[in-house]
């Protein structure tokens, strides 16, 4: 009987456990997670923070489901060491656990810059349900919040804090919001709309310190300006949790290095999700975590060998009734690219495609959800569009007929 052990009970770990059980019905599948809950959907943390969902609505499968799947789920169980040669793990509580194949699905933590004041009460990150619960309790006592980081997660959190009637200022170090998903024009368009809904923004500003003596009272910017706020949230990117792998001598750069089969540099040890770095890339998104977990578990079980082909980065932001999607190389800029943009103030839509050598490689769509699947398909198919690239976004052009071929 093969013993599979998975470290990390998030979406990657849980997907792999379920898949291993299906592929190898007689195996022992053990899923170890240091959080107090079984897998819950992190994107729902905003609704929880905004007071629209309760804790019980977040958990994906009840504990009984794991028992019915014969998955030995152990919550509140932190792994403190791996011994790759002995094929065993050490738990923080002291026990040793042997494995035949191991998956590291340890996720990521939030990056917090090493600046004065970040340890003060009133300073938060949002990664776990416990973070969200602590912030929700604090928000009830606060009036003004600052969100450091105007990326996808920062904006969604700012929106949730707004719903709690806080006065929210978002501070972004780059010259515009959503630097990973949007170009300048698209970001300005989005910012104006969000401002009209009550959010405040400071862009192109580096945060140098959290101010306050015994609790946060705001932040200080590089130009000396002080922004007042009694709740400060850092949303400035993620750091893969690779420490277990690093300490065990497994190859780590930013994340745990995994090859196309999702195997690490150590025999019988695989990695998936936010902890894994594949071809220099850490995705930090749910869909790639699921896809990597599927490939890893397939190869762990010795079923038909599969390789992870990479995932087209695709992010959707749903904010205050707005719908923003960026696909592929949405912010790529170089002379070899052809860029087409259509901005319709009245309709509230912004569309952009990026074409390289006659092939669409990226797109941005604001408030045009119907076009998203068509452009996704077009990017994935790598179809030559050189004959029509100037017309692709025209209203008169039948994109659906072109993509679907009808």
State the residues that interact with ligand FAD by CB under 6 A.
7-13, 32-35, 42-43, 45, 78-79, 105-108, 126-127, 153, 241, 244, 273-275, 284-287, 289
Q: Report the length, in residues, of the chain.
A: 406
The two tokens of residue 240 are 């893969």
Category of 405 on φ-ψ map: left (φ > 0), alpha (ψ -120 to 50) or beta: left
* CB of 185 or CB of 243, closer to ligand FAD: 243
Q: How far is the CB of 283 from ligand FAD (least distance, A)?
A: 7
* CB of 290 or CB of 355, closer to ligand FAD: 290
Distance, C-alpha 211 to centroid of its chain: 29
Q: How far is the CB of 125 from ligand FAD (least distance, A)?
A: 9
Q: How far is the CB of 227 from ligand FAD (least distance, A)?
A: 23
Q: How far is the CB of 246 from ligand FAD (least distance, A)?
A: 12
Q: How far is the CB of 50 from ligand FAD (least distance, A)?
A: 12
* CB of 276 or CB of 392, closer to ligand FAD: 276
Q: How far is the CB of 149 from ligand FAD (least distance, A)?
A: 12
* CB of 93 or CB of 370, closer to ligand FAD: 93
Whole-angstrom distance, CA of residue 55 vs CA of residue 68: 23
* β strands within 290-390, DSSP E: 314-319, 322-328, 337-344, 349-356, 359-366
Rounded to 5 degrees, what angle do the CA atoms 193, 197, 200 make? 85
374: closest CA among 351, 397, 400, 340? 400
* CB of 37 or CB of 402, closer to ligand FAD: 37
327: closest CA among 382, 364, 279, 368? 364
* Residue 250: count of CB within 10 angstroms of its CB: 20
* CB of 217 or CB of 314, closer to ligand FAD: 314
Whole-angstrom distance, CA of residue 188 vs CA of residue 287: 28
Residue 374 · residue 403 · CB < 8 Å:
yes
The two tokens of residue 63 are 């504990």
* CB of 106 or CB of 325, closer to ligand FAD: 106
Category of 397 on φ-ψ map: left (φ > 0), alpha (ψ -120 to 50) or beta: beta
* CB of 11 or CB of 187, closer to ligand FAD: 11
Residue 21 · residue 71 · CB < 8 Å:
yes
Q: How far is the CB of 289 from ligand FAD (least distance, A)?
A: 4
Q: How far is the CB of 357 from ligand FAD (least distance, A)?
A: 29
């Amino acid at each position: 009987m093969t013993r599979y052990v998975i470290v990390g009970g998030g979406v990657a770990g849980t997907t792999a456990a379920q898949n291993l059980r299906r592929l190898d019905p007689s195996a022992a599948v053990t899923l170890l997670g240091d959080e107090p809950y079984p897998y819950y959907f992190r994107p729902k943390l905003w609704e929880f923070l905004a007071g629209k969902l309760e804790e019980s609505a977040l958990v994906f499968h009840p504990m009984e489901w794991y028992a019915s799947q014969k998955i030995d789920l152990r919550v509140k169980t932190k792994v403190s060491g791996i011994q790759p040669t002995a094929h065993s793990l050490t738990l923080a509580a002291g026990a040793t656990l042997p494995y035949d194949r191991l998956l590291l699905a340890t996720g990521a933590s939030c990056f917090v810059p090493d600046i004065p004041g970040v340890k003060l009460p009133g300073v938060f990150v949002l990664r776990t349900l416990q973070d969200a619960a602590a912030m929700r309790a604090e928000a009830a006592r606060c009036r003004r919040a600052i969100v450091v980081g105007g990326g996808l997660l920062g904006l969604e959190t700012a929106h949730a804090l707004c719903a709690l009637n806080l006065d929210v200022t978002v501070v972004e170090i780059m010259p515009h919001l959503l630097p990973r998903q949007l170009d300048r024009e698209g970001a300005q368009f989005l910012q104006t709309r969000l401002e009209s809904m009550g959010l405040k923004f400071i862009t192109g500003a580096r945060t140098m310190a959290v101010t306050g003596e015994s609790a946060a009272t705001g932040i200080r910017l590089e130009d000396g300006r002080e922004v007042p706020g009694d709740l400060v949230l850092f949303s400035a990117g993620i750091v893969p949790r690779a420490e277990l792998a690093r300490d065990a001598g497994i190859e780590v750069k930013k994340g745990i290095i995994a090859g196309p089969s999702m195997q690490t540099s150590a025999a019988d040890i695989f990695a998936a999700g936010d902890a894994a770095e594949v071809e220099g890339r850490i995705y930090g998104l749910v869909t790639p975590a699921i896809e990597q977990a599927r490939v890893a578990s397939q190869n762990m079980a010795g079923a038909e060998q599969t390789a992870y082909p990479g995932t087209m980065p695709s992010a959707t932001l749903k904010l205050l009734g707005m719908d923003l999607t960026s696909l592929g190389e949405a912010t790529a800029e170089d002379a070899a690219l052809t860029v087409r943009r259509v901005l319709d103030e009245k309709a509230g839509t912004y569309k952009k495609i990026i074409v390289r050598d006659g092939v669409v490689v990226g797109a941005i769509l604001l408030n045009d959800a119907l076009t998203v699947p068509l452009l996704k398909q077009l990017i994935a198919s790598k179809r030559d569009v050189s004959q029509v690239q100037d017309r692709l976004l025209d209203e008169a052009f039948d994109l659906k007929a072109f993509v679907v071929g009808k």
